[in-house]
């Protein structure tokens, strides 16, 4: 059985015919070719698929595409500015080497942005608690935590993390 | 002035732009026109005879294109997946190598063994149809654990392998060890389990097979650390496809940690099936499949004894290990508990006599192979646990007993009694750097302060040495390696002076695109932006062995230097011609070629232009072009080493262990990009902490079912489980036998961390009479150890 879903993804209205059982993550990856959002597990544990739905971070493997009907979805592809300037959190991850293989990175960055929206001045411990839904196997989290703290500072200052870190 | 993007600079990674913006290209991201999806139907039984496979209903299901079984592959003469290292037993007999077919033929031998594959228009259709396949299984008794495997009454995983014994191997001088034990003042004994782990790269394995009937060319895109190795093994041994008709591409790969070295059956299945169905065939593992079918790591049972004199000097070490191979021999499985484990049993110590025997056993579990560190963490854990137990038993400070036994820096090069010759290392210096860094003198006070809060505090050390960049090829070959162990590089200058480097190494998180470019930028005095690093495609790069065992920089980087040497030699001749000088008068610095004693010079960019537009060029002496290739075969291993120190606190009411601090002092030789090296150490440490405190792969001993088959059951370390780390190193002991002086840093954290953490845990528990715990030190295990007299929790 298929049905029609309509939503806004990265600022653009999209409508597609999908199987009803289609998960939001598969809708993004396979119907919209937005392959930046990754699937790292099948039990909603790893967080590689985190996107923003109406401004809140969501594991897009826990949600059917039809549940996002009418919603505004932002994926990692939609995070940087239109001119390509990285979001302060993206810039902070680069500056602080907060990624290695890059697979968990989109989910990690999307979670971090939402974490900082809720708590603009997180402590190291709050960052670690806040990222408990995202697994990284490469970095040992050390530089991710550094990046999120720097990204938070840059988001507060409204300027790129690279400059804030100097 | 130093090149700001050259050697030693923390250049921000060039690969990050695509990963941070969602524009990486992992295998699963690739979508080919007309592609099909394959679902692997896996055995739910650990050990079962396959009486038949009835796919009639599945073939009628919506979207199904084909169903294949082991019989179909047999009809096409598809062969067994080969093992890359032949081990001989003590008695000289070769190891047992039962066949390992991509799709099982007679029996399924572990939960997850592939018994049929379904190809359909969508992955959902393939998965749905697989449920309609009727496999006639005859359930057989399973051999699950090592203890079961060595029990003479156990079932046999392979009918032709008596006692499930793959090999019974040894290394060292048993007589010398026995003599030393006879005269020992003290003997420390230890039985330990090195727990089985699942590597868990965050990108699940995936493979995409394509076939072009017009050219007869096959293409496999796969999540591999070494595409040429896959091409050789799959092409020559499994499918019989000649190399010039087989391209293997490993695009962006989301972590490997060893688990993506090996040639897996799924790769052969998609490549073979793409030709059968005449369409691209794609497979992506679900995480549950990864747990079942990725090669696992570790899984040793060991008894060891250390003999000491009255002053705590090590006299001899005796080790007996059972190593689990799983149901089949994965690509490098046999070398891990032998040449990558027993050869490291000297550690940093001058123990004069060592003897190790290793029995490798088949069980009805997933194959076991290299996982980050691969044999070396097992060796380090064993030695460093023994050392701290011996120190406690003899009343010697744990740092002092190490210091007494270190191989002194002035003894380098040092021949160990277990085959290796260390080239450099100053182990006392590592310890000297670590002690003030961790305020060892202040530990007693911290412990007392913790006790006031009701917490048990412990400190643990681990000193490690690892052997990286396995080599030379001829020595490895004599020891049973069935492959070369060199690396390749090609340095191609373009006419206008930019450079493309083709490396046989492969990056799946390590940052080669940055580090390798820094080496080229430094050598030729050009900005890093002018250098592109290409890897991971057999159609582009020269034959290379890929990335594993911390070898990329030591072996691949050395190949790169050799290729740059060739470029420079040719450029020097061209420069001499352009400046009408003698070649011997040309001096080269930072890519500038100068006639000695004059101000006449020419840059590498102008030389490149002259090479490709050879109007003013010595055509009768030199070929046009500036494009050189090199293969580098190392003269020896490299020997990274270090001292890792961990402090933990334990809550005696809950048994929860918290890592309060972790400090690493390492010797990686010369460091090219400090930022990247630190990141490698951090990640390695957390994998070691994971093994020590959280991770454990468990099969049910009766049924062989994988109990820890998802992230709900297999405990991955998360951000709040670990602290930030103090990482430092020194660079005054560079490797003596490679041109960069580099040793490798990828596995160090994992090798040292598990031992340091467990030593800290036992140190914290020692006053309660606990002398040893097996990993992982979960809250339940720690609580039970502290409450031995209380009834078991399960009984409450």
In a domain, B343, yes or no: yes
In a domain, B1, yes or no: no
For residue B684, what is the enclosing H or E element?
helix B674-689
Q: How many domains would you assign to chain A? A: 2
In a domain, B193, yes or no: no
* A128 part of contact set with chain B, CB < 8 Å: yes
Quick check: B47 and B364 in contact, CB under 8 A?
yes
Contacts of B24 in chain A (CB under 8 A): 36, 102-103
* A125 part of contact set with chain B, CB < 8 Å: yes
In a domain, B672, yes or no: yes
Are B683 and A36 in contact (CB < 8 Å)? no
* Distance in angstroms (rounded) separating the CA atoms of residues B772 and B765: 9
| Domain closes at, from A77, A111, A138 | A77
Task: Give me the CATH number covering residue B35.
Answer: 3.90.1170.50
Indicate whether A17 and A72 sit together in one domain.
Answer: yes
* Distance in angstroms (rounded) separating the CA atoms of residues A160 and A146: 15
Indicate whether A18 and A68 sit together in one domain.
Answer: yes
Indicate whether B503 and B423 sit together in one domain.
Answer: no
Strands across the sheet with B586-589, in order?
Answer: B586-589, B592-595, B601-603
Quote the mean pLDDT of chain A. Answer: 95
* Distance in angstroms (rounded) separating the CA atoms of residues B583 and B593: 10
Say whether pLDDT at B707 is over 60.
Answer: yes
Indicate whether B516 and B377 sit together in one domain.
Answer: no
* Distance in angstroms (rounded) separating the CA atoms of residues B128 and B119: 11
Over residues B758-777, the mean pLDDT reads 96
Quick check: B241 and B234 in contact, CB under 8 A?
yes
In a domain, A130, yes or no: yes
Which two three-digit tokens encode residue B221?
Answer: 């895109």
Indicate whether B350 and B247 sit together in one domain.
Answer: no
Indicate whether B574 and B447 sit together in one domain.
Answer: no
| Domain closes at, from A38, A55, A77 | A77
What does the pLDDT look like over A135-144, one tens digit per residue?
A: 999 999 999 9
Angle formed at CA B294 by CA B291 and CA B298, multiple of 5 degrees: 90
| Domain closes at, from B253, B284, B315 | B284
How many C-beta neighbours within 10 Å does residue B516 have? 28
Angle formed at CA B464 by CA B715 and CA B724, multiple of 5 degrees: 50
Indicate whether A128 and A151 sit together in one domain.
Answer: yes
Say whether pLDDT at B447 is over 50.
Answer: yes
Indicate whether A58 and A92 sit together in one domain.
Answer: no
Indicate whether A71 and A93 sit together in one domain.
Answer: no
| Domain closes at, from B580, B609, B632 | B632
Task: Give me the CATH number covering residue B779.
Answer: 3.30.365.10
In a domain, A106, yes or no: yes
Indicate whether B567 and B695 sit together in one domain.
Answer: no
What does the pLDDT look like over B550-589, one tens digit per residue?
A: 999 999 999 999 999 999 999 999 999 999 999 999 999 9
Indicate whether B345 and B247 sit together in one domain.
Answer: no
- Bridge pairing between strands B456-465 and B601-603: unpaired
Residue of B18, B32, B120, B202 best to disrupt the A interface, most CBs of A under 10 A: B202
Quick check: B499 and B490 in contact, CB under 8 A?
no
In a domain, A82, yes or no: no
B-contacting residues of A 37-96, CB under 8 Å?
A: 37-43, 45-46, 48, 75-77, 79-80, 86, 90, 93-95
Say whether pLDDT at B163 is over 50.
Answer: yes
Nearest CA in chain B to A108: B20
State ipTM.
0.97
Contacts of A30 in chain B (CB under 8 A): 31
Indicate whether A138 and A69 sit together in one domain.
Answer: no
Indicate whether B410 and B514 sit together in one domain.
Answer: no
- Bridge pairing between strands B499-503 and B531-534: parallel
| Domain closes at, from B632, B665, B700 | B632
The Cα diameter of chain B in Å comes to 92
In a domain, A47, yes or no: yes
In a domain, B179, yes or no: no
Given this model, what pLDDT does residue A165 score?
41
How many C-beta neighbours within 10 Å does residue A21 have? 12
Indicate whether A94 and A156 sit together in one domain.
Answer: yes
pLDDT band at residue A115 using 50, 70 and 90 as cut-offs: very high
Cis peptide before B89 (omega within 30 of 0): no
Which two three-digit tokens encode residue B303?
Answer: 């008894």
* Distance in angstroms (rounded) separating the CA atoms of residues B334 and B346: 21
The CA distance from A25 to the nearest CA of chain B, in Å, is: 13
Indicate whether A92 and A161 sit together in one domain.
Answer: yes
Exposed e or buried b for every residue in A40-63, given b needs 16+ CB within 10 A? Answer: bbbeebbbbbbbbbeeebbbbbeb
* Distance in angstroms (rounded) separating the CA atoms of residues B772 and B757: 13
Contacts of A29 in chain B (CB under 8 A): 29
Task: Give me the CATH number covering residue A157.
Answer: 1.10.150.120
Task: Give me the CATH number covering residue A49.
Answer: 3.10.20.30
Indicate whether A122 and A161 sit together in one domain.
Answer: yes
The CA distance from B251 to the nearest CA of chain A, in Å, is: 12
Residue of A51, A76, A136, A140 best to disrupt the B interface, most CBs of B under 10 A: A140
Indicate whether B599 and B531 sit together in one domain.
Answer: yes
Indicate whether B556 and B663 sit together in one domain.
Answer: no
* Distance in angstroms (rounded) separating the CA atoms of residues B298 and B691: 10
Domain span holding position B76: 31-140+205-284
Quote the mean pLDDT of chain B. Answer: 96
Indicate whether A97 and A161 sit together in one domain.
Answer: yes
In a domain, A83, yes or no: no
The CA distance from A139 to the nearest CA of chain B, in Å, is: 4
Indicate whether A108 and A143 sit together in one domain.
Answer: yes
Distance from the first to the final alpha carbon of chain B: 71
pLDDT band at residue B796 using 50, 70 and 90 as cut-offs: very low
In a domain, B197, yes or no: no
* Proportion of chain B above pLDDT 70, given as a percent: 99
Contacts of A163 in chain B (CB under 8 A): none
Indicate whether B648 and B782 sit together in one domain.
Answer: yes
Over residues B594-621, the mean pLDDT reads 97
What does the pLDDT look like over A73-83, one tens digit per residue?
A: 999 999 999 99
Say whether pLDDT at B244 is over 50.
Answer: yes
Over residues A46-66, the mean pLDDT reads 98
Residue of A137, A144, A148, A161 best to disrupt the B interface, most CBs of B under 10 A: A137
Say whether pLDDT at B161 is over 70.
Answer: yes
Cis peptide before B602 (omega within 30 of 0): no
Give this prediction's pTM: 0.97
Over residues B375-384, the mean pLDDT reads 98
The Cα diameter of chain A in Å comes to 55
Residue B731 DSSP SS3: coil
In a domain, A140, yes or no: yes
Residue of B9, B19, B673 best to disrupt the A interface, most CBs of A under 10 A: B19
In a domain, B188, yes or no: no
Quick check: B641 and B463 in contact, CB under 8 A?
yes
Strands across the sheet with B281-284, in order?
Answer: B64-69, B114-120, B36-42, B281-284, B206-212, B217-222, B246-249
* Distance in angstroms (rounded) separating the CA atoms of residues B437 and B456: 22
Indicate whether B627 and B640 sit together in one domain.
Answer: no
The residue ranges of DSSP E strands in A10-83, in sequence order, are 12-19, 50-53, 56-59, 72-74
In a domain, A98, yes or no: yes
In a domain, B55, yes or no: yes
| Domain closes at, from A51, A77, A103 | A77
Residue listed under structure tokens 């088959």? B709
Indicate whether B567 and B463 sit together in one domain.
Answer: no
Which two three-digit tokens encode residue A89?
Answer: 């959190």
Domain span holding position A124: 88-165
Q: How many domains would you assign to chain B? A: 3
Given this model, what pLDDT does residue B789 score?
55
How many C-beta neighbours within 10 Å does residue B82 have? 18
Indicate whether A100 and A161 sit together in one domain.
Answer: yes
């Amino acid at each position: 059985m298929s049905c029609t879903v309509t939503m806004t993804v990265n600022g653009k209205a999209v409508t597609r015919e999908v199987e009803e059982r289609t998960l939001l993550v598969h809708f993004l990856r396979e119907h919209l070719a937005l392959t930046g959002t990754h699937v790292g597990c099948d039990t909603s544990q790893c967080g590689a698929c985190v996107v923003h739905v109406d401004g809140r971070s969501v594991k897009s493997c826990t949600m059917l595409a039809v549940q996002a009907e009418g919603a505004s979805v932002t994926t990692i592809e939609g995070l940087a500015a239109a001119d390509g300037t990285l979001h302060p959190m993206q810039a902070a991850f680069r500056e602080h080497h907060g990624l290695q293989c890059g697979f968990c990175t989109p989910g990690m960055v999307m979670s971090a942005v939402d974490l900082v929206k809720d708590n603009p001045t997180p402590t190291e411990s709050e960052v670690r608690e806040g990222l408990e839904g995202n697994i990284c196997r490469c970095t040992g989290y050390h530089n991710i935590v550094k990046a999120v703290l720097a990204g938070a500072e840059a988001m507060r200052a409204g300027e790129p993390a690279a400059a804030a870190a100097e | 002035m130093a090149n700001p993007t050259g050697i030693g600079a923390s250049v921000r990674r060039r690969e990050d732009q695509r990963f941070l913006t969602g524009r990486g290209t992992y295998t699963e991201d690739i979508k080919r026109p007309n592609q099909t999806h394959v679902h692997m139907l896996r055995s739910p039984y650990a050990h079962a005879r396959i009486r038949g496979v009835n796919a009639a209903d599945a073939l009628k299901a919506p979207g199904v294109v084909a169903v294949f079984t082991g019989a179909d592959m047999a009809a096409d003469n598809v062969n067994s997946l080969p093992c890359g290292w032949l081990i001989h037993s003590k008695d000289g007999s070769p190891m047992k190598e039962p066949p390992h077919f991509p799709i099982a033929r007679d029996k399924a031998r572990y939960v997850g063994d592939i018994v049929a594959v379904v190809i359909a228009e969508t992955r959902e259709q393939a998965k749905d149809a697989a449920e309609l396949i009727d496999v006639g299984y005859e359930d057989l008794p399973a051999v699950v654990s090592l203890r079961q495997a060595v029990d003479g009454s156990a079932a046999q995983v392979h009918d032709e392998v008596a006692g499930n014994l793959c090999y019974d191997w040894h290394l060292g001088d048993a007589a010398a060890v026995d003599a030393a034990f006879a005269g020992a003042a003290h003997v420390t004994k230890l039985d330990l389990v090195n727990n089985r782990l699942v590597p868990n790269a965050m990108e699940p394995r995936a493979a995409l097979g394509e076939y072009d009937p017009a050219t007869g060319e096959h293409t496999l895109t796969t999540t591999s650390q070494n595409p040429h190795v896959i091409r050789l093994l799959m092409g020559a041994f499994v499918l019989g496809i000649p190399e010039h008709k087989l391209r293997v591409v490993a695009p962006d790969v989301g972590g490997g940690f060893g688990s993506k070295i090996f040639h897996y059956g799924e790769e052969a299945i998609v490549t073979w099936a793409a030709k059968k169905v005449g369409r691209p065939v794609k497979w992506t593992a679900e995480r549950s499949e990864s747990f079942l079918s990725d090669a696992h790591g570790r899984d040793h049972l060991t008894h060891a004894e250390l003999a000491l004199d009255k002053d705590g000097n090590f006299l001899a070490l005796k080790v007996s290990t059972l190593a689990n191979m799983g149901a089949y021999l994965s690509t490098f499985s046999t070398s891990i508990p032998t040449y990558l484990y027993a050869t490291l049993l000297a550690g940093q110590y001058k123990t004069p006599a060592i003897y190790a025997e290793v029995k490798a056993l088949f069980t009805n579990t997933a194959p076991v192979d290299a996982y980050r560190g691969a044999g070396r963490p097992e060796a380090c854990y064993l030695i460093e646990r023994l050392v701290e137990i011996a120190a406690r038993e003899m009343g010697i400070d744990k740092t002092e007993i190490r210091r007494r036994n270190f191989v002194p820096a002035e003894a380098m090069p040092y021949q160990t009694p277990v085959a290796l010759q260390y080239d450099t290392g100053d182990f006392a210096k590592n310890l000297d750097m670590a002690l003030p860094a961790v305020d060892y003198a202040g530990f007693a006070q911290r412990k007392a302060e913790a006790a006031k809060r009701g917490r048990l505090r412990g400190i643990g050390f681990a000193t490690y040495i690892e052997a990286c960049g396995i080599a030379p090829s001829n020595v490895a070959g004599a020891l049973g390696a069935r492959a070369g162990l060199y690396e390749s590089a090609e340095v191609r200058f373009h006419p206008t002076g930019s450079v493309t480097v083709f490396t046989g190494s492969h990056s799946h998180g390590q940052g080669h695109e940055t580090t390798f470019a820094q080496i080229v930028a430094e050598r030729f005095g050009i900005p890093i932006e002018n250098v592109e690093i290409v890897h991971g495609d057999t159609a582009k790069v020269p034959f290379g062995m890929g990335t594993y065992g911390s070898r990329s920089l030591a072996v691949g980087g050395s190949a790169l230097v050799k290729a740059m040497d060739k470029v420079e030699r040719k450029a020097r001749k061209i420069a001499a011609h352009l400046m009408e000088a003698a070649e011997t008068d040309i001096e080269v610095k930072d890519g500038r070629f100068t006639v000695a004693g004059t101000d006449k010079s020419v840059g590498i960019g102008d030389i490149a232009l002259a090479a490709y537009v050879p109007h003013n060029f010595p055509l009768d002496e030199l070929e046009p072009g500036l494009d050189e290739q090199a293969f580098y075969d190392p003269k020896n291993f490299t020997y990274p080493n270090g001292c890792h120190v961990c402090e933990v606190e334990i809550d005696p009411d809950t048994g929860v262990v918290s890592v309060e601090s972790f400090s690493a002092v390492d010797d990686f030789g010369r460091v090219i990009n400090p930022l990247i090296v630190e990141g490698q150490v951090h990640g390695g440490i957390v994998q070691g902490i994971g093994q020590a405190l959280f991770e454990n792969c468990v099969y049910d001993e009766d049924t062989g079912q994988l109990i820890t088959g998802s992230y709900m059951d297999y405990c991955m370390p998360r951000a709040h489980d670990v602290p930030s780390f103090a990482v430092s190193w020194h660079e005054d002991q560079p490797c003596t036998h490679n041109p960069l002086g580099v040793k490798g840093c990828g596995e160090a954290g994992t090798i040292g961390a598990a031992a340091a953490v467990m030593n800290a845990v036992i140190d914290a528990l020692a006053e309660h009479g606990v002398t040893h715990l097996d990993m992982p030190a979960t809250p339940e295990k720690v609580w039970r150890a502290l409450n031995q007299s209380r009834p078991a929790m399960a009984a409450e």
